[in-house]
Amino acid sequence: MKTQFLACWVCKKNFWRFLLSCIVFSLSMGLTNAHATGEAVIANMIGRATARLPDGPVHEGKTRQVGLFEGSSIGETARVQTGRDGQLCVVLSPGAILCVAPGTILRFDRLRQTSRGLPRSEEDLVRQIHITLEQGRILLHAGPPTAVLDMRVVTEHGVVEANGGTFSVAERPDGSWAVFNEAEEQNVIPDGGEPLLLRGNASAILGRGEDGEAFARLDDSLIDSALREYEVCEIFFTDLSQFFMDPLRFDRSGLAQWIGGADASIDFLGGSVATLDVSPSFRPVPVGSVRPQSPTPGEPGAGGRWGHRRIWDWYEQIGPMKGFTYIPRYAVNSVEMWMEDTFDTDIIDEELGWAQSSGYTSVRVPLQYAVWADDPDGFMDRFEAFVELAGGHGLRVVPVLFDDLSLGGDMPVVGPQPDPIPDVHNSRWLPSPGLEAVENRELWASLEEYVTSVIRAYRRSDDVLFWDLYDVAGAIGEWETSLPLMDQTFLWARAVDPSQPLAVSAWTRFGSAKSTRKLERSDLITFQSYDTPEQVEALLVLLRRHDRPIVCVGWLMRQRGNDFDSMLPLFANHRIGWFNRGLVNGRTQLWLQQPDLRQPDDPELWQHDVFYEDGEPYRREEIEMIKAFTFGSE
């Protein structure tokens, strides 16, 4: 009996072992074949955007809201919302770029890799990108179609499906949805209806009729719609296309470095992420604490964007800022100013003396990369001489490192500069570093050395007031051409950790993504405007939303009423620091009115500049106003 029982027990034991092994095998197979959840990584953003994420077991339905920032990442089930000024450029690890416009609400239903285990080639990888769009508008960009890419955008009236390409979906005022084909083809499928194929430069409406039936129909009237514009994303398509063209090799650290430099990382904020087989390109590591919205506010020595209290303390401590943007009378452009053969300390000393006697406290001066590249040590010696001369006259310096203004039509080259064109305003001005260097990233190592070496030499100097990193960024090439270099210049400068604030001024298209991006990365708000006083005052309302000190680094266009009589009272009332354009009339011919801005009733009126070349003021009453300027009471 005991023998029979023992045999039976052994049999049962083997059975349970067998059953357990089957369960383990099944689980292992199930886990191996589990869907690998991808990520949505914020590559670029302006304004405010948030995500609502699961917080605890899914069945409990608890969520938490987090602020998004560049370098942050979220997973499946996240619900994303952009504010009225928020715009996002998002890399989806299954292999696409997502652009999100202001006022948009969406949910990531699927960001998945459905291969078995880690794929060895792209053919092994089935990628799913499913998004529910509740309101607003988005654009998906995924390169040439492939059979293993499944993209879906779900709206309340139907679905847009594609295997790649580029398309946008936008909510219309009447509640219907506009669908725009930008490349390749897509299917627009109304609820319960037949698919509508979009090819070429086609657009369609997805909506419901009065009978409640969903429909999809072509509508060519939408082709030129403003709903198709996604400014914050366009410049990044070329750079990020390497990711979706080869998602297995463009890894998490690669994207992190692209966003934030060599030491950057991606912070995973939450969402439904598988624990075993995550995206083959991204390995999310949840972080214990979420960083503030990029750029990160920092205390002294932290290398981050200055916090509000720090920048306001700095601004109140320095007092009213009264300055001018300076080029000496002997120079036709910044190349001629800084070259060894033409750099003239006697003239600079004389002219800065005139500025001191007029009540100025600051001087904003354009540097020139081409001169530095030709002779770094000599350039630094000449810049040191300039800083010493300015300090000797009680003037603190605002160096301008890069400049997109290109009126001379040439690349900056060291050597004899041509004479100014007679009767033409600023006819020989050259950019720094110029379009070729702006676009060619192989040259950026030298640009980085230039930025870091100049800032490092004065990073703790009281002689430097703040760093103006990039003048009129966007004035060369296309509007967005210099955006990547501008972003990188901020990173290079932050890495040096100067004790002075950093800034890039807005100067046109003040509501655009690029202008907002400049100001959101700057420690203080700087702008340029040569419009009427009424227009400038209206602009200040927009700029005050940033809740930071404001400095006007470019003004004075007398023929438009933008003059000392009208602007200084405006700046005093609003407690705005300022730098007027020009000091002494010279080879730049800044006093001449530009043809398209000419005042026909008074063509001899000076546009810019304050002194004749012999030191006599253009208008003596202007000098008295500069001396008397102070901030009005709060």
pLDDT at 295 (0 to 100): 40
Banded pLDDT at 416 (limits 50, 70, 90): very high
**What whole-number percentage of the chain has pLDDT above 90?**
61
Res 44 pLDDT > 90: no
Instruction: Give, for 142, the enclosing helix (H) or strand (E).
Output: none
Q: Of residues 259 and 445, which shows the higher confidence score?
A: 445
b/e string for 218-241 if b means 16 or more Cβ within 10 A?
eeeebeeeebbebbbbbbbbeebe
Banded pLDDT at 116 (limits 50, 70, 90): very low
Q: State pLDDT tens for residues 423-450.
A: 999 999 999 999 999 988 889 999 999 9
Query: Which residue reads 């750079």 in tokens?
Result: 239
The model scores a pTM over 0.85: no
pLDDT at 70 (0 to 100): 81
Q: Are 456 and 387 in contact (CB under 8 A)?
A: no
Average pLDDT for 100-106: 95
SS3 sequence of 31-91: HHCCCEECCEEEEEEECCEEEEEECCCHHHCCEEEEECCCCEEECECCEEEECCCCEEEEE
pLDDT at 222 (0 to 100): 84
Task: List domains and CATH numbers for the chain.
Answer: 33-270 (2.60.120.1440), 322-628 (3.20.20.80)
pLDDT at 37 (0 to 100): 65
> What residues are paired with 584 via a beta bridge?
611
Average pLDDT for 390-399: 98
Res 108 pLDDT > 90: yes
pLDDT at 283 (0 to 100): 43
Res 633 pLDDT > 80: no
pLDDT at 273 (0 to 100): 46
pLDDT at 366 (0 to 100): 98
Average pLDDT for 37-42: 82
Helical residues (DSSP H) of 229-364, grouped into ranges = 231-234, 237-245, 252-260, 308-318, 334-338, 345-357
pLDDT at 71 (0 to 100): 82
Nearest to 554 by CA among 471, 489, 613, 628: 471
pLDDT at 483 (0 to 100): 84
Top mean pLDDT of 22-36, 280-294, 425-439, 500-514 is at 425-439
Res 487 pLDDT > 50: yes
Integer Cα distance of 520 and 579 in angstroms: 21
Give CA torsion, residues 157, 163, 164, 166, to 10 deg: -20
Q: State pLDDT tens for residues 620-630.
A: 999 999 999 99
Kindly tell me the number of DSSP H helices and DSSP E strands found in the chain: 16, 30
Q: State pLDDT tens for residues 209-254.
A: 999 999 999 998 887 787 887 776 766 666 666 666 665 556 666 6
Q: State pLDDT tens for residues 517-558.
A: 899 899 999 999 999 999 999 999 989 989 999 999 999 999
Top mean pLDDT of 62-76, 232-246, 371-385, 480-494 is at 371-385
Res 372 pLDDT > 80: yes
Res 337 pLDDT > 70: yes
Average pLDDT for 171-179: 95
Mean pLDDT of the residues in the chain:
85
**What whole-number percentage of the chain has pLDDT above 70?**
81
Using CA atoms, how far residue 200 sits from 180, 188, 194, 538, 553, in Å, is 10, 14, 20, 43, 46
Banded pLDDT at 502 (limits 50, 70, 90): very high
Q: Of residues 20 and 523, which shows the higher confidence score?
A: 523
Res 31 pLDDT > 50: no
Structure tokens at 293: 């919205």
Integer Cα distance of 367 and 379 in angstroms: 9
Q: State pLDDT tens for residues 263-302.
A: 667 888 876 544 333 344 444 443 333 333 334 434 444 4
φ and ψ of 70, to 5 deg? -65, 130
